[in-house]
Chains A and B, each alone.
Chain A
Amino acid sequence: MYNKGTIIPGLIIFIAFVTFPVWFNGLTTAGDLPKPELPPGGEKECVMPADYMRANHMQLLNEWRDNVLRDGNREILEIGGKKYPKGLQMACMQCHSVKEKFCDSCHTYAAVTPYCWDCHLTPKDAKSKEATH
């Protein structure tokens, strides 16, 4: 083999680069799985089944945002005898009241930063705002 001095370090760098996630995670430590807190009020029903919500909630929220803000359609949904106005604070956060314990747990794990909070206030923020005014 010729030019061992450059080719072997080159290959080692290549392998280190490809296997980056293995040694970054420290070989066998998978870290903690997120545990989103269920509604503190004990509600069991959501607007859709849990499986659907887990996979599609972002699309549902986006649709609601478009309905309400772009089309002016503020129709109130009635599901299982319960009324849900279309809105993050008006519907979702009524039951899932603590953003830090519910939304953030999975979003941090999956490194997702939804821009909901560019406009919306979490219930906690809303309280502190009220206090200052």
Chain B
Amino acid sequence: MTLKSILTGAVMALGLGTTAAVAQDDKTKVGFIYVGPIGDGGWTYEHDQGRLAVEEHFGDRVETVYQESVPEGADATRAITQMALNGADLIFTTSFGFMEPTINVAKKFPNVKFEHATGFKTAPNVSTYSARFYEGRAIQGHIAGKMTESNIVGYIASYPIPEVIRGINSAFIHARKANPDVQFKIIWAYTWFDPAKEADAATALIEQGADVILQHTDSTAPQAAAEKAGNVISFGQASDMAEYKPSPRVSSIIDNWKPYYIARTQAVIDGTWESQQTWDGIGPGMVGIGEITDAVPADVKEEALALKASIAAGEYHPFTGPLKKQDGSDWLAEGETADDGTLLGMNFYVEGLDAEIPQ
């Protein structure tokens, strides 16, 4: 045994000892690590709504703490450790970039439960959870295909990761079904939240003829740009973005973490918490579809709601064959649906998309 490992052991024992002492408190302490400010109106805002729902549901039985605008990397490790040291029993880390820090900290605090959003690494005390946003994208794609007059749909993408590529494919497949002439123009913003960049991207897409804007970034700036341009419709992302109703915002994908956060907190209180991987969609209510406004013709709205109902009931999977990949090779045969493994690692476009995934 080297000096190094002895010292590590000593420091860890000290750390765990104090944690255990603090955890004696009968209130369950739930911590949240946010990547953005709670007022971002999108991603972090909805996670914070989930936190507030936990507080409301359990009242005095829980205490919640949060840290906002936590940079990914070494700072995240410290922020998570700090929460664990201060006696948190359950910690939600709500950004993909917190994956490695979460796993690292979890090793040192085996008695604390961790929940990492949108990642793929688990441990005995680390679960992952994410939402099947692509189900909502299918509905957006349908409305977009029906509504566009220029046949050009603009898409503001964040980073070329499977999550985002899945959304583009799902939206495109359903836009094409609704309108065989539709084309997608995609701009990569390389950010999750940057109002200035998002506004620039929206404006550029509109100038290229797009009259529908889809966004996979979290600010309302594209909504404002669409409103300014006039005759352009858009969809709320992560949060309802209701202030842009009834137009340009004609519908939205709403992340609804409340039921999940309440259920997992309950599991910790009951002592039934187990490591698992959750990927829920419209059916269980993790993905919400915001009100489809009257700017959408009644028949299109009806079709969209029918699509939503069939996805929620599990009757229809947005990735159902026949589907080909962009290069023309076969992907899914008639009636075949995509498996989760392929979807989770999706790194290709489907046939018909006239764009390239940046490398």
Chains A and B bind each other:
no
Residues on B facing A (Cβ under 8 Å): none
